[in-house]
Structure 1
């Protein structure tokens, strides 16, 4: 399925495909060659990455009981939604960061039951810092640690500082590396995007986003379904969807931390959004209706990828 969703690229590949894998400030100590990948190889590697992510994502939502019954529905939904737009189909920093985001989802959902929250929170801070080395807006995910604590545990100031400490540990070593290489001024420039105001104007070609119509429809139906069953669900399930909702919001709004906005940023919204879509399809009762909606979603995506 991951390769099928990229059929438009395989039939009509571009002659050249420029892409970034990590942030410029990370290239000082980590150089990853990208020019040797042809467009077909790029898209194929991206398909493999999405397939692996889908399996990991499927395992997480099954382990936490976020769908009606275990299966591979979550993986299928993840692969389809990860193919909404052409920029989603190639290797990009947010695509790589989704490995870390799925890992964070698992950690945040375990937080309420953990006997060692300090270690888990410290590890989460380090994971977010590693993600920020790949794609700077990922650093905004640090807010999710505190939001998860608010929803999962009583206040404990030691727990609230563990996430930032883990984050600062990675960037402390990065600062030392910059200092050794007489580039400490460049290290300070890493944080300049945080001073940006939220973009007031987006240049949008609305015809490129028609493929979102069936996604929005499914999200609305899923929200109605979740609302009907919300108070009948286990506390853990309710808390999980609250955390995932805020993860989606934070991922969406973190676009302000990237001066040069690109549509592939919204790949960070896919893991949290896919949970709600999988929840709908696993709980829907009218078979012909939800199968028809899924078919419409698949065909709509394929149509707009080709045109």
Structure 2
């Protein structure tokens, strides 16, 4: 199966669909009705309220939406990676890795604001990766700031991804103050229009849309399944680091910078859930896309075929076992 995903065949989309359904079959048998958390943005609250009447009657709509989001994110992110030539040839390995990774935690099988945001963040990363030697950098940084601002309407702490824009400006562009100002203007623009609408509608209460921020260390009830999932995330990531270091001098400068940007993306995604944290792994799905890129690098460059097979089947066996184990625990 890995051999198929190493190609750029459209048939892989069907395989991704099969993976998505099989690896999340518990979510389809026992649909989870999402509940917005205090840290979620106002737009996500309204989205769930919009879905609620239909979701109450047909709750399977939620896992279907999740599957559509995951497959669309997997395919679009893979296209971005292929366009940036982060791998020597076009493959569907990042898509396969993303579907596997998003099946590791039961919280990642559920609809959440962070899952929706992944669609936008993949686009932001693609825009920022194009900054190097781009003739119209101001358009890109404005759009990136704008999209990040929109993500905060769904999950407010995601506004911290503006740091990814700043890193891209530092690493890919000579210093130009106007580009930094334009990035900040892009970040502020959606809030400008939001507050303008509120003021004109006579509903001026901006603090409702600007939640307070706090940073603290979440306290989780780690079980064996969570630890195994974390190990499965980390091992291919560490292996990819070895291969990237070995090949880094062979990479084009833009490719090197794009990998650096993915690493920064991952670091920010790992840290953001510490802001207004919830005691679950729900918001750490933000790190799934950058992890998928590194896992794909491992799948592509691993010299021993048995390593690929072992990693791949460990994922499959663990996820299927988790699907079978959950009903026994939840009764």
Which residue of structure 2 lines up, in the alignment, with residue 126 of structure 1? Answer: 146
Residue 74 (structure 2) pairs with residue 54 (structure 1): yes
Moved more, 23-32 or 98-107: 23-32
Q: 1:27 to 1:236 in 2, by over 3 A?
A: closer
Q: Give the match's secondary structure for 2:103.
A: coil
Which residue of structure 2 lines up, in the alignment, with residue 203 of structure 1? Answer: 220
Gaps of 5+ in 2: 1-18, 326-331
- Return the alpha-carbon distance in structure 2 between the equivalents of residues 28 and 272 of structure 1: 27
Which residue of structure 2 lines up, in the alignment, with residue 265 of structure 1? Answer: 283
Q: Aligned-pair distance for 1:166? A: 0.8
- Return the alpha-carbon distance in structure 2 between the equivalents of residues 272 and 56 of structure 1: 13
Residue 182 (structure 2) pairs with residue 162 (structure 1): yes
- Return the alpha-carbon distance in structure 1 between the equivalents of residues 323 and 177 of structure 2: 49
Which residue of structure 2 lines up, in the alignment, with residue 17 of structure 1? Answer: 33
- Return the alpha-carbon distance in structure 1 between the equivalents of residues 162 and 190 of structure 2: 13
Q: Aligned-pair distance for 1:264? A: 1.6
Which residue of structure 2 lines up, in the alignment, with residue 74 of structure 1? Answer: 94
Which residue of structure 1 lines up, in the alignment, with residue 238 of structure 2? Answer: 220
Residue 75 (structure 2) pairs with residue 36 (structure 1): no
- Return the alpha-carbon distance in structure 1 between the equivalents of residues 323 and 201 of structure 2: 45
Q: Give the match's secondary structure for 1:113.
A: coil
- Return the alpha-carbon distance in structure 1 between the equivalents of residues 103 and 111 of structure 2: 12
Gaps of 5+ in 1: none
Q: 1:177 to 1:262 in 2, by over 3 A?
A: farther
Q: Aligned-pair distance for 1:214? A: 2.1
Once the two structures are superposed, the pairs formed by residues 79-90 of structure 1 within 5 Å of their partners are 79-90=99-110
Q: Among residues 43, 66, 85, which one is paired with 1:26 in the alignment? A: 43
Q: Aligned-pair distance for 1:99? A: 0.8
Is residue 103–residue 109 contact of structure 2 (8 Å, CA) maintained in 1?
A: yes
Provide the TM-score with structure 1 as the length reference: 0.91
- Return the alpha-carbon distance in structure 2 between the equivalents of residues 127 and 208 of structure 1: 35
Q: Aligned-pair distance for 1:23? A: 4.2
Which residue of structure 1 lines up, in the alignment, with residue 4 of structure 2? Answer: none
Residue 197 (structure 2) pairs with residue 177 (structure 1): yes
CA-based RMSD of the aligned residues comes to: 2.2
Count, aligned residues = 302
- Return the alpha-carbon distance in structure 2 between the equivalents of residues 233 and 107 of structure 1: 20
- Return the alpha-carbon distance in structure 2 between the equivalents of residues 177 and 261 of structure 1: 35
Q: Aligned-pair distance for 1:189? A: 4.3
Q: Aligned-pair distance for 1:7? A: 1.5
Q: Give the match's secondary structure for 1:184.
A: coil
Q: Give the match's secondary structure for 1:66.
A: coil
- Return the alpha-carbon distance in structure 1 between the equivalents of residues 87 and 246 of structure 2: 15
Deviation per residue, 1:211-264 (Å, 9 max, x gap): 222221111111111122222322112111111111111111111333545422
Provide the TM-score with structure 2 as the length reference: 0.84
Is residue 3–residue 44 contact of structure 1 (8 Å, CA) maintained in 2?
A: no
Which residue of structure 1 lines up, in the alignment, with residue 166 of structure 2? Answer: 146
Q: 1:27 to 1:103 in 2, by over 3 A?
A: closer
Residue 306 (structure 2) pairs with residue 288 (structure 1): yes
Deviation per residue, 1:138-179 (Å, 9 max, x gap): 111111110111110110000111111011110011112222
Deviation per residue, 1:244-296 (Å, 9 max, x gap): 11111111111133354542211111111111110111111211221221111
